[in-house]
Structure 1
Amino acid sequence: MNEYSLHDIQDFLKIFYFDSPSLLVTPIPQGEENQNYKIEVDDKFYVLRVYSQAHSTTGVRNEKEIEFELDFMDHVRQKGVPTAIPIKNHFGRQVSEILLNGLPHFAVLMNYINGKEALAYSSENARLMAIQLVNMHKASLTYGYSAVRPWPGDIVRSGLTFYKENREHIGLHRNELDALYNQVAEGYKVIQSLKLPVGIVHGDIKLENVLFEKNEISGVLDFDDYRESFLLEELTRTLMHDLDSVDRNVIRSGQLGVFYEVFRMDNNISHIQLRQMDTFLKARFLYDMAAYSKNGLTWLIEDIFTDLYIKKILLS
């Protein structure tokens, strides 16, 4: 963050009556799309979230979408999911506008949540994350909404489409992946016939977006990828978020069973729904393999195909 940006932020914070000589602004490096800053004023801490001008997937960014995001955060917080609480500016609004380096952005000031990001999955933090996913699923089913941002398809349809469009790039293991494609296509027919539950999903649950403190989850962060989808998509993205990493991926770290155990124990997640998990996982795998092939990462594909957990769960 350069001095010009720092001056912009300090000037912007006056709409929250933050005009103290003790005001400190520190960039938080975490986050690939939006910018986050830790704000310290008079021994109190906050986080300023500055949104990118356009969402990386939808290409759209507007105040209504952010207000929807904050409203959903409030809803799940009331159901037991720890989320940040927005601070209203002196106009009584949660979403503000800020100029950074001369460019307009939307911004939200929130309370600071104490906690640290886990460096790798363990049985305990996998269990805690699974419980929060169940809580979010329950909350989504009781959340009343009339419209939500458009999104380019659920993960199964996206996986099938992307694989078909990029099959020409695939050299390694094409026969196995073609067979997997056929399995996913058949599984998608079953999913459509079952009419699995849909709702608002977080869309980006991973270790970087969860804070832990005293062996508990203290905060779930970054709801910017919220959308309406199958509730099982949330679980799928969590299980396979970093397929190229052993430590930061649930499946490759061997913690998949922990998630299944938690979901089986919850009465709102039916056995029929869980049985379709296989199709969701394989669709995500197809998408990733096509993406890696398209980008020439053949060494990564070979590494993943030799992984024992991948073989057992996705390639059996």
Structure 2
Amino acid sequence: MRKLPSDQPHCRLTRQIHCLPVQMRGVEQMAGPEIANLDDRIRQVIGVAVDACGLGLVQKVTGLPLGFSNVNFRVETDQGTFLARLCRTQPDDRIRDEAHFLESIRASGFPASYPIARTDGTPITFHDDQRVMIYEFIEGEEPAVTPDSARQVGEAIGLLSTLEVPAGYSSSSLSDIDEAKQFLITKAKQLEKYPELFSQLQQETAEIESFLQIKLPRGFVHADAFPDNTIFRDGKLVALIDFEDSCEDALLFDVGMTLLGFGYQDEHPEPEQIRAL
């Protein structure tokens, strides 16, 4: 879950939910930057996926830092270097949608790490209760947040908003106002122990819902354009990665997320970076 600037009005509802006792949140907490564990079982699963994609013989597999949703490995074969992603959170249909969209924009040259289909044309390898996707491996690093990196990511998100959502794509936002309202209903008895917080959550939910009556331009959104989901090399953006939360939604969604990711320094808005976006 993203660390949002704590003193901004648009983050109040998220912050208040985070402050609830853990048993009320239903949120799995992640530890620090652990490395994906590689054992014989996972090595075999990755080998099956690589073989299914016709990518040659595996020579070396290295665990990468754990993300919020998946487990990633760098895979070197006699044909090149690839990324193996063990999908742990998203349902199959959402994973297929991600691959479907990325394949639809491949010819555009948009900077991304594109999935590599199996030889049967499907994107997911199912083996030993695991779901594996293979991607291009993009060399580079997470950027420092500067006006220049903000500008480049802003331009990429702007370009992304102009690309057509392909027929058959159906993924919507992972969370919406109905989920927030349902949270208040299902947790009502527990929240009654915190009357001031409960009242504030109700007021802010109603306030947010009132703004949702405004019709906004819709299209494809990445939904998580933070620095750790971008790859830079020699100061240039070479890939926007981790499309696992992507969806069709109001384009303003990506504006807000990119602003949070690249418009702040030390939890405070940075005007020069915001202008660069």
State if a TM-score over 0.5 links the two structures. yes
Note the alpha carbon deviations across 1:139-162, whole angstroms, 9 max, x for none.
Answer: 2xx3243551354553x6766776
Identity of counterpart residues, as a percentage?
20
Matched residues, number = 236
* Equivalent residue for 2:67, pick from 15, 27, 31: 31
Q: In structure 1, how many angstroms separate the alpha carbons of the residues matched to 2:265 and 2:108? A: 25
Note the alpha carbon deviations across 1:19-67, whole angstroms, 9 max, x for none.
Answer: 53x6111111141211111111126111111211x43xxxxx11x4322
- Within-5 A mapping of 1:246-257: 249=264, 252-255=267-270, 257=272
Query: Per the alignment, in what secondary structure is the counterpart of residue 23 of structure 1?
Result: strand
Q: In structure 2, how many angstroms separate the alpha carbons of the residues matched to 1:157 and 1:125? A: 35
Kindly indicate whether the alpha-carbon contact (under 8 Å) linking 1:79 and 1:135 is maintained by their aligned counterparts in 2.
no
Kindly indicate whether the alpha-carbon contact (under 8 Å) linking 1:207 and 1:248 is maintained by their aligned counterparts in 2.
no
- Within-5 A mapping of 1:1-316: 1-18=38-55, 20=57, 23-42=59-78, 44-52=80-88, 54-55=89-90, 61-62=91-92, 64-99=93-128, 104-118=129-143, 120-139=144-163, 142-151=164-173, 153-154=175-176, 169=194, 178=200, 185=206, 188-192=209-213, 194-240=214-260, 249=264, 252-255=267-270, 257-260=272-275, 262=277
Residue in structure 2 matched with residue 305 of structure 1 by the alignment: none
Q: In structure 1, how many angstroms separate the alpha carbons of the residues matched to 2:272 and 2:193? A: 35
Alignment RMSD, CA only? 3.5
Q: In structure 2, how many angstroms separate the alpha carbons of the residues matched to 1:19 and 1:106? A: 20
Deviation at 1:238, TM superposition (A): 3.0
Q: Which has the larger helix fraction? A: 1
Q: In structure 2, how many angstroms separate the alpha carbons of the residues matched to 1:43 and 1:186? A: 54
Q: In structure 2, how many angstroms separate the alpha carbons of the residues matched to 1:258 and 1:221? A: 21
Kindly indicate whether the alpha-carbon contact (under 8 Å) linking 1:86 and 1:94 is maintained by their aligned counterparts in 2.
yes
Deviation at 1:223, TM superposition (A): 0.7
Residue in structure 2 matched with residue 273 of structure 1 by the alignment: none
Query: Per the alignment, in what secondary structure is the counterpart of residue 267 of structure 2?
Result: coil
Deviation at 1:2, TM superposition (A): 1.7
Query: Per the alignment, in what secondary structure is the counterpart of residue 159 of structure 2?
Result: helix
Deviation at 1:213, TM superposition (A): 0.8
TM-score normalised by length of structure 2: 0.69
Note the alpha carbon deviations across 1:106-144, whole angstroms, 9 max, x for none.
Answer: 2221211121112x41111111111111111122xx324
Kindly indicate whether the alpha-carbon contact (under 8 Å) linking 1:121 and 1:255 is maintained by their aligned counterparts in 2.
no
Q: In structure 2, how many angstroms separate the alpha carbons of the residues matched to 1:250 and 1:236? A: 16
Give 5+ residue unaligned stretches, structure 1.
56-60, 242-246, 263-316
Give 5+ residue unaligned stretches, structure 2.
1-37
Q: In structure 2, how many angstroms separate the alpha carbons of the residues matched to 1:167 and 1:248? A: 37
Kindly indicate whether the alpha-carbon contact (under 8 Å) linking 2:56 and 2:79 is maintained by their aligned counterparts in 1.
no
Pair 252,35 (structure 1): closer, same or farther in 2 beyond 3 Å = same
Pair 233,150 (structure 1): closer, same or farther in 2 beyond 3 Å = closer
Pair 185,226 (structure 1): closer, same or farther in 2 beyond 3 Å = same
Deviation at 1:218, TM superposition (A): 0.7
Query: Per the alignment, in what secondary structure is the counterpart of residue 269 of structure 2?
Result: coil
Q: Which amino acid aligns with 2:210?
A: K
Q: In structure 2, how many angstroms separate the alpha carbons of the residues matched to 1:34 and 1:189? A: 35
